[in-house]
Chain A
């Protein structure tokens, strides 16, 4: 197992290199590349022509578009320089915010991770028992209603749901139950830890609901289908013939065998949620990675776009590795040694 994980980690290096190449190519070939300078200078005030040119030249150097003497650098060499900087932990400086990208990502990452972790936990906590119950009660009222409900959830676009939530549940003119923006109130300095946590959870209710419901519906359906596949198999009859109670048959035998599709999904699922964060963080004005990415893209803030995409790729790779490890744990027939 340890050898396998080491092998996989080594294999991640070429994959990561390939991903950086694609990423670099997409970003550099995208139209509208700007090195900012004037338009997004510090404070946003207009500068004179000379200062703007100087700032732009500085930024071009920083991005390795030109060398020290101002001669343009070839694209492959740009890639090599960028790669060197990235792997040494230097993601450059944001054109928009005039601050190191590393610092921005450090500020923004916790909010996004918290939201996504909470959503994933909620999704799996509801989808697995929900799907199991639906499969056991196949064709009964619960299955039909639950199936209808989850299909409905799956069909709702998150942009609409998010806006409706803000408009109706976080609006003093309707139900002012939840806050409409950010992950904590202002003036949190005087709150105790528990008060702070309460405030934080209160702020996360709506965004986490938005992030969860689609995946929840999808995973429920998937779990139900996987359970039904297994419930029809011969070994389940064997388990019943042993004299096991139905609950034991379902939880001990069928449950484990129907976990594999859930693991497969997990690998692509977390990166997918991060994508969902793009929209939701905007709707709820949460200062997270998604918000950072959207504003950076709109402002053509190259270093941020590259850095966020890179972090996303690394997270995807880690999820893939985790999924593979879970495979081994769930299915003894899978052996990687």
Chain B
């Protein structure tokens, strides 16, 4: 995949270099067995994933649980390292720099520009630190402001995410789930990053709170020109939010497209099935619900050929041998920028 700008992105830069460029990313976790814990195989959590994110754009990453979405996000940020048997390969370029080649000190500087909002707003905040020090710590570590300025800066950030500035002296357990996620967002914003991985930021929240947090994230994107990698398992949430959407299945991207195009005109049978499961707000549009048979195959032993074929309704109909024998390439189908990996569409 070469550089590419999706039509819907604001594309503020004239240079066509994407902010984040991920090529052939693979993350394998070892399966250890026996007394000596020898490696018996690998869980292919992420298997040959490539995509780009442009400045100011948000890319949605969807797929059912266990498909490797979160691992993609963490590998890109190098929160997962090739330690203790983890195998990580491929290239990740952020702002023209090779993320995997950075030394520890350079990596910490990079963290200024790449941040993450975690799924669990409870566990991801240190329970023994005040909100003020949770948000202020990265500012201090990266020397973005001196100690006397930090209180003001923290108050600004809290105000930005819609929390009273008095919250700085309180502890995370004194806040509700939605408020805690706001703290997590303020923390991520503290370093004024260009890019934020949102790792299912709303899946732990009530529906009413979900909308508030999503609107907050959208406002921040508009005002600060942030780029998001928005990881979710809820297609409705992603539709609301993303310029482009990538659908993952069993560690691979099976379809990637402009968001509107994908929802209107899905090309991969898995995407079609996922979309059919989204509840429709209109009673007239009942639509056919596609129920996928069988279990999600194990990522330690994925099926041959197209990993989706054992559950694929199209394969069940057509019994094409290519589906069993050969991995379909992610190639353009339909509109420009719309690519899907399927032999049959």
Contact = CB atoms under 8 A, between A and B. Distances in A.
Interface of A: 139, 233-235, 237-246, 248, 253, 256-257, 330-333
Contact of B141 (A248, A257, A330): A248
16 contacts: A237-B79, A237-B118, A238-B118, A238-B125, A238-B184, A239-B137, A240-B79, A242-B141, A243-B107, A243-B108, A243-B191, A244-B137, A257-B126, A330-B128, A332-B171, A333-B171
Contact of A243 (B123, B138, B173, B184): B138
B137 A235 contact: no
Most buried by B among A139, A241, A256, A331: A241
Contacts of A248: 141
Nearest to B133: A252
B123 A234 contact: yes
B contacts with A: majority SS: loop
B126 A253 contact: yes
A contacts with B: majority SS: helix
A332 B131 CA distance: 12
For the complex of A and B, the 5 pairs showing the least CB-CB separation, nearest first, are: A243-B111, A234-B123, A242-B138, A234-B124, A235-B126
Contact of B128 (A237, A241, A243, A256): A256
A234 B118 contact: yes
A241 B126 contact: no
A241 B78 CA distance: 9
Contacts of B129: 253
Contacts of A234: 118, 120, 123-124
A243 B142 contact: yes
A165 B187 CA distance: 56
A245 B111 CA distance: 11
B129 to A, nearest CB: 8
A243 B113 CA distance: 10
B116 interface: yes
Interface in B34-66: none
B173 A333 contact: yes
Given A244-B138, A245-B104, A332-B171, A238 B126 contact: yes
A235 B77 CA distance: 16
Contacts of A331: 127-128
Contacts of A245: 104, 108, 141
